[in-house]
Amino acid sequence: FVIACCLQLVLHAFPARANFGEPIATSGNWTVRRTLHAITDEPSCVAIYKDRFEIQLDENDLFVSLRGRGGVSSVVLRFDDEPARALRPASETEKMIRAVNLCGSEFEELMSSKRVRMQIQTTAGTTIEEDLDLDGVKKVHGEFMNSPCREKETR
């Protein structure tokens, strides 16, 4: 299941900023960017948090890349003002891609929240804290279903 959730990230692999295409929508702290596959012209959209390209949202996942800051060892999540969840070890996929991946029930909770906080233990033994204001996340998530993110361009 986790491998299926992370397939999109493996395809994105956090390319350079220039590869993210042009912004097509903005809401709150998020900007949707659209790119076209060089061979098939299939569109692909991703939302970026506050121009921090290491934090990406797609249709089913939120990714927080730790490339250059160590890999993921474990993470504690806190949604809104609810109590923090128990520490969970990084999945094999999270370790491989060096990114925290919220998918499945974690992603569903993210989409119904206003804020998510993460305390991430890296493989280097450091702690990284992220505090994401989710203002606009529902609207940009809806953009993934709109035609610019779905339809091929005709040339």
Each residue's pLDDT tens digit, 95-123: 999 999 999 999 999 999 999 999 999 99
What per-residue confidence (pLDDT) applies to 155?
54
Task: At 122, list the tokens.
Answer: 């890296």
- Taking only the tens place, the pLDDT of each residue in 69-86 is 889 999 999 999 999 999
What confidence category does residue 4 fall into, taking pLDDT thresholds of 50, 70 and 90? very low
CA distance 42 to 140: 19
- pLDDT of 5 strictly over 70: no
pLDDT at 144: 87
Q: Please state, in angstroms and rounded to a whole number, the distance separating the CA atoms of residues 111 and 30.
A: 13
- Across 87-93, average pLDDT: 96
Q: Would you place residue 68 in the very low, low, confident or very high pLDDT band (cuts 50, 70, 90)? A: confident
* DSSP per position, the chain: -HHHHHHHHHHH----GGGG-EEEEEETTEEEEEEE-TTT--EEEEEEETTEEEEEE-SS-EEEE-TTS--EEEEEEEETTSPPPPPEEPPHHHHHHTEEEE-THHHHHHHT-SEEEEEEEETTS-EEEEEEE-TTHHHHHHHTTSHHHHSPPP-
